[in-house]
């Protein structure tokens, strides 16, 4: 029976208005900061509250055979796990399945519910834990990154059924450590391996949308090394007039060490092992994305003037080339309370984005060698690597999926889909790509320009959320019919 597209769109629209936005409003109020940034997450209980809110909403859906549970492994953040049986026989199946053990064709849908820290700089009337619906924008931490994913995924499944379509067996994994690099997820995937089965399609709703005019597919993700570099030169601060010229500045030594990693004038990474080629297809897609209006530099809230550079190269620089960001500085007082003191130490938090195909273990070795060898004798240098995560590059798109993506984007957005790399990291994708090499991947999201995930004034663009949900429903139906 063909899918009734109008019925899909009607159910998705009403569910977003009447149920998803209210649920996200409550979700935003929960300060469930990811464990990397809140060591006391377990005692505070916020992560459990968020997981229970999501699980309760999911369990209340009117979907025959739906099962939902919050899975908890000792010492790890919770994970919301749900299964929905297939609507009927799908290719390779003998009938309607409720589990993976009998070889049921499976779609895996992924999202996360943990959040970044609140950050300063929210505009008056806005805040990380105070949801505000202003027109099409739902402001607050975590709505678009990635609280909506659980609600949208199950709504898409519900819409397929309500519109007379079909879908394969569906498994939903909603984790709670993604913003910390997903340290808990591998244990859950292993724990649930028999129940998950072998997905032929993976849908991830945790990515970027360069504009609101089409369904955007993520074709690559950069890897990531998170580390803290600390330089100690004294056991306590001393008068700068006494120490200056004798005791080296810990900041200067940090700066010197980082110059081994990147060119201070251009930001180009100097470590050759962190570089890599850009495939022709991805360069061609970048050209098409820029022609469609993607402007990476134009989205940035520049304090000065944006650099005058080729927008295609800027897009590739932000998605395929390695980069270094200093995301935090310790050991220094605020300037307005700083005395004339030679400080004892400087510590910096490093976020190093890797080429999608760089081996993160080798990158870590090269970084450690650059920052911890040939050191000045006056200093004690320590490097603490918190995470080293692999990037991901999409496999070749199957013909059925290419057709389905084109149909879904054209039907819902009124334009063909776009394809672009993303500069961020979703560790789950590299892990799944390795575990399920035959699977097809659809990575998309609602992070439209200005939505500012991780920063102040983060918002979810509700119309894009609705359209992505409706597009996923069409993809599920096409997958079942392939």
**pLDDT, tens digit, for every residue of 219-245?**
999 999 999 999 999 999 999 999 999
Asked if 56 and 116 sit in the same domain, the reply is: yes
Question: Is position 307 within any domain?
Answer: no
Query: What is the C-alpha to C-alpha distance for residues 42 and 45, in angstroms, rounded to an integer?
Result: 5
Domain count for the chain, please give it: 2
Q: Which domain holds residue 111?
A: 5-221+392-481
Asked if 255 and 190 sit in the same domain, the reply is: no
Question: Is position 355 within any domain?
Answer: yes
Residue at which a domain ends, from 362, 389, 416: 389
Asked if 343 and 402 sit in the same domain, the reply is: no
Residue 330 is part of a domain; what is its CATH number?
3.30.70.360
Question: Is position 292 within any domain?
Answer: no
According to the model, what pLDDT value does residue 444 have?
97
According to the model, what pLDDT value does residue 93 have?
45
Asked if 361 and 384 sit in the same domain, the reply is: yes
According to the model, what pLDDT value does residue 104 have?
84
Asked if 144 and 271 sit in the same domain, the reply is: no
The token pair at 323 is: 């980069």
Question: Is position 313 within any domain?
Answer: no
Residue at which a domain ends, from 389, 421, 450: 389
Question: Is position 302 within any domain?
Answer: no
Question: Is position 179 within any domain?
Answer: yes
Asked if 110 and 128 sit in the same domain, the reply is: yes
Residue 434 is part of a domain; what is its CATH number?
3.40.630.10
According to the model, what pLDDT value does residue 88 have?
74
According to the model, what pLDDT value does residue 429 have?
87
Residue at which a domain ends, from 389, 412, 439: 389
Asked if 238 and 144 sit in the same domain, the reply is: no
Asked if 99 and 244 sit in the same domain, the reply is: no
Asked if 347 and 232 sit in the same domain, the reply is: yes
Question: Is position 147 within any domain?
Answer: yes
Question: Is position 258 within any domain?
Answer: yes
Asked if 376 and 406 sit in the same domain, the reply is: no
- In this prediction, the residues of the chain whose per-residue pLDDT falls under 70 are 89-103
Asked if 173 and 31 sit in the same domain, the reply is: yes
Asked if 136 and 271 sit in the same domain, the reply is: no
């Amino acid at each position: 029976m063909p899918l009734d597209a109008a019925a899909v769109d009607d159910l998705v629209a009403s569910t977003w208005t009447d149920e998803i936005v209210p649920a996200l409003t409550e979700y935003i109020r929960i300060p469930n900061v990811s464990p990397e940034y809140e060591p006391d997450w377990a005692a505070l209980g916020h992560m459990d509250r968020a997981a229970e809110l999501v699980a309760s909403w999911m369990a209340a859906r009117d979907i025959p055979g739906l099962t939902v549970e919050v899975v908890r492994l000792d010492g790890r953040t919770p994970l919301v796990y749900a299964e929905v049986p297939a609507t009927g026989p799908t290719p390779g199946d003998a009938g309607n399945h409720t589990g993976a053990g009998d070889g049921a064709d499976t779609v895996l849908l992924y999202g996360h519910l943990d959040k970044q820290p609140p950050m300063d700089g929210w505009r008056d009337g806005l805040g990380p834990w105070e949801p505000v619906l202003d027109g099409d924008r739902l402001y607050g931490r975590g709505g678009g990154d990635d609280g909506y994913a659980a609600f949208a995924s199950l709504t898409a499944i519900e819409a397929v059924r309500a519109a007379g379509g079909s879908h394969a067996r569906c498994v939903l994994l909603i984790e709670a450590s993604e913003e910390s690099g997903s340290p808990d997820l591998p244990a859950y995937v292993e724990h649930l391996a028999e129940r998950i089965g072998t997905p032929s399609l993976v849908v991830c709703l945790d990515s970027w949308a360069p504009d609101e005019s089409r369904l955007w597919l993520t074709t690559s993700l950069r890897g990531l090394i998170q580390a803290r570099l600390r330089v100690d030169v004294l056991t306590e601060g001393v008068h700068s007039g006494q120490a200056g010229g004798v005791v080296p500045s810990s900041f200067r030594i940090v700066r010197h060490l980082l110059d081994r990693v990147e060119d201070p004038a251009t930001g180009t990474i100097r470590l050759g092992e962190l570089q890599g080629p850009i495939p022709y297809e991805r360069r061609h897609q970048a050209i098409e994305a820029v022609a469609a209006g993607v402007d990476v530099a134009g989205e940035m809230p520049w304090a000065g003037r944006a650099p005058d550079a080729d927008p295609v190269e800027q897009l590739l620089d932000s998605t395929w080339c390695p980069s270094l960001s200093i995301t935090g500085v310790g050991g220094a007082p605020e300037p307005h309370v700083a005395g004339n003191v030679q400080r004892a130490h400087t510590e910096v938090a490093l976020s190093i984005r890797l080429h999608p195909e760089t081996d993160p273990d080798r990158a870590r070795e090269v970084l450690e060698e650059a920052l911890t060898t040939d050191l000045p004798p006056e200093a004690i240098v320590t490097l603490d690597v918190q995470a080293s995560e692999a990037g991901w590059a999409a496999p070749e798109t199957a013909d059925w999926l290419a057709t389905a993506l084109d149909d879904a984007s054209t039907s819902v957005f009124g334009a063909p889909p776009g394809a672009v790399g993303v500069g961020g990291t979703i560790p789950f994708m590299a892990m799944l790509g390795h575990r399920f090499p035959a699977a097809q991947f659809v990575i998309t999201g609602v992070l439209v320009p200005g939505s500012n995930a991780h920063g102040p004034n983060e918002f979810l663009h509700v119309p894009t959320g609705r359209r992505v949900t409706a597009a996923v429903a069409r993809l599920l139906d096409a997958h079942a019919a392939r």
